[in-house]
């Protein structure tokens, strides 16, 4: 039987991807994994080109996934490619500032808050034009260290593409999903006020 996680409510018309879902199936999302677990909609090798068209996705959620993918550059480039202008890539990853990044022998890439600077042209992305094709506006925070010594980095990465276009995810939604002020995270008519799509029940 699949686990079904209740998360913050997002607009139904958005095309939303639950990347590396494992057995956690999100209703109304495209649930993607490398294995055909019950409820998985798309079986995909994320080390290769992702099976989505350019500019076709509004929101990607990847929790405890990116550290299992060998190339962070490929991961960020592919997410940017498939997102529309203003689309969001939400990441939850064990930080190298805690034990979690290194304790799991299946982890093959390593991340912390500073890692995300290399995927924004405001910072370092422009230094590697032959490798880093993406450009994100990024909000990033760390959790407190838990009793096991694990710190998670949470990042909400907004795809910057054609600034002459209206963003597929509005500025209001980006602010609501990333604000540190709980009052600013409320969207009228939508349930939940968490940062990103973290669990709210």
Radius of gyration of the chain (CA): 16
Q: Residue 154 burial by CB count (10 A; 0-12/13-18/19+): exposed, middle or buried?
A: buried
Q: State yes or no: pLDDT of 2 exceeds 90.
A: no
Domains of the chain: 3-8+15-185 (3.40.50.150)
Q: State yes or no: pLDDT of 199 exceeds 70.
A: no
Per-residue pLDDT reduced to its tens digit, 27-49 = 999 999 999 999 999 999 999 99
Q: How far apart are CA 132 and CA 86, in angstroms?
A: 18
Any idea what DSSP says for residue 17? E
Kindly report the average pLDDT of the chain as a whole number: 95
Per-residue pLDDT reduced to its tens digit, 123-160 = 999 999 999 999 999 999 999 999 999 999 999 999 99
For residues 49, 142, 167, 133, the Cα torsion angle rounded to the nearest 10 degrees is -40
């Amino acid at each position: 039987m699949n686990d079904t996680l209740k998360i913050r409510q997002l607009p139904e018309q958005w095309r939303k991807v639950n990347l590396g879902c494992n057995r956690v199936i999100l209703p109304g999302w495209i649930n993607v994994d490398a294995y055909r677990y019950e409820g998985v909609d798309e079986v995909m090798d994320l080390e290769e080109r992702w099976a989505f068209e350019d500019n076709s996705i509004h929101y990607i959620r990847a929790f405890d996934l990116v550290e299992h993918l060998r190339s962070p550059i490929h991961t960020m480039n592919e997410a940017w490619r498939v997102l529309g202008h203003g689309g969001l890539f939400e990441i939850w990853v064990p930080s190298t500032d805690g034990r979690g990044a290194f304790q799991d022998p299946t982890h093959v890439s390593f991340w912390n808050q500073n890692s995300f600077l290399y995927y924004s042209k405001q910072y370092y992305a422009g230094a590697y034009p032959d490798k880093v094709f993406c450009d994100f506006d990024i909000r990033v925070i760390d959790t407190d260290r838990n009793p096991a010594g694990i710190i998670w980095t949470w990042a909400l990465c907004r795809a910057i593409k054609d600034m002459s276009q209206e963003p597929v995810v509005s500025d209001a939604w980006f602010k609501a999903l990333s604000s540190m002020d709980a009052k600013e995270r409320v969207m009228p008519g939508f349930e939940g006020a968490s940062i990103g799509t973290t669990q709210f029940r």
